[in-house]
Structure formats: structure tokens, C-alpha cells
């Protein structure tokens, strides 16, 4: 019985410690698509958009996606390399649609994000897609 209680407590604790993750991202990682009008992200739980960053940019030639994501997140909003249009809304949201500049040229593009999860922990990630 003791073991069952410990297992139940550990299961509940691990769920409470789980961080937010991206559950759906469009375009999909590695997908080759026509130039999208927007990129979309859906999270496993609402994130605080006020303390989050989202970046879409062309993947620089010769740069790894990891290095490009780090550089993208260091850019200020409105930097010329960034391809998103408008501003990110404030508040809490579990999904987000980011319009991008029209007629993206063929090539590799990076989506990078840094969000503040509901438990206060930052969650950083990135994904690459291709425009054909």
C-alpha cells in the first residue's frame, strides 16, 4: 500500500512539474511548403505572451538551426531579418498565429520561440521548414 501511495504522489508531482511544450506547429518541421501567410503554434497549456518571444527568419547559410535560433531570439522586435508582421498580442493564450511577410523566397526558414510557462519556467525551442 505504501508503494502505491508513493507512486501516485510521484505521478501527480511529475505532472505538476511538466513544462509547456509546443503540441502543433505549422508549417511542420522539415516540411516543404508554398510560402505561408502565417506560422501557427499551439501549446500544451496557455503561455504568458507578454513575457514570450516568437521569431521567424530565413535560416542563414552555413549556420546551424540552434545557433540561428539563439541569434533570432536575441534580435529586437522589428529587426530587418525578422519576417513576422504586426505585434504579438498580450495576455495568456494556448495558440498563436503569426502573420509573415508575403511571398517568402524559396529556402530554409526558422521559427524560434521563448515562452514563459504557467509554472514560471522559460521554454525555448525552434523548428525549420522549407519554402519551395
3-state SS of 73-108?
HHCCCCCCCECECCCCCCCEEEEEEEEECCCCCCEE
pLDDT beyond 60 at 6: no
Backbone angles phi, psi at 107, to 5 degrees: 145, -175
Structural domains of the chain in order of their starting residue, each with its CATH number:
19-131 (2.60.40.1220)
The pLDDT of residue 121: 86
pLDDT of residue 130: 98
Average pLDDT over residues 70-91: 93
CA distance 24 to 42: 5
Interacting residues of 72 by C-beta distance below 8 A, sequence separation 6+: 55, 57, 81, 82, 110, 112, 126
Global confidence as pTM: 0.84
The model's pLDDT over 101-129, given as tens digits with 9 standing for 90+, comes to 999 999 999 999 999 887 888 999 999 99
pLDDT in tens, 10-54: 444 444 557 899 999 999 999 999 999 999 999 999 999 999 999
Mean pLDDT of 66-92: 94
In this predicted structure, what is the pLDDT of residue 7?
42
Sole residue written with cell 511542420: 28
Amino acid at each position: 500500500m505504501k508503494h502505491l501511495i508513493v507512486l501516485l504522489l510521484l505521478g501527480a508531482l511529475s505532472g505538476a512539474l511538466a513544462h509547456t511544450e509546443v503540441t502543433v506547429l505549422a508549417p511542420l518541421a522539415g516540411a516543404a511548403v508554398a510560402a505561408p501567410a502565417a506560422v501557427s503554434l499551439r501549446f500544451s497549456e496557455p503561455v504568458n505572451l507578454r513575457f514570450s518571444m516568437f521569431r521567424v527568419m530565413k535560416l542563414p547559410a552555413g549556420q546551424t538551426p540552434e545557433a540561428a535560433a539563439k541569434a533570432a531570439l536575441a534580435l529586437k522586435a522589428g529587426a530587418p531579418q525578422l519576417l513576422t508582421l504586426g505585434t504579438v498580442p498580450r495576455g495568456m493564450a494556448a495558440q498563436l498565429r503569426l502573420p509573415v511577410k508575403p511571398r517568402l523566397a524559396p529556402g530554409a526558414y526558422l521559427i524560434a520561440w521563448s515562452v514563459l510557462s504557467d509554472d514560471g519556467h522559460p521554454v525555448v525551442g525552434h523548428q525549420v521548414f522549407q519554402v519551395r
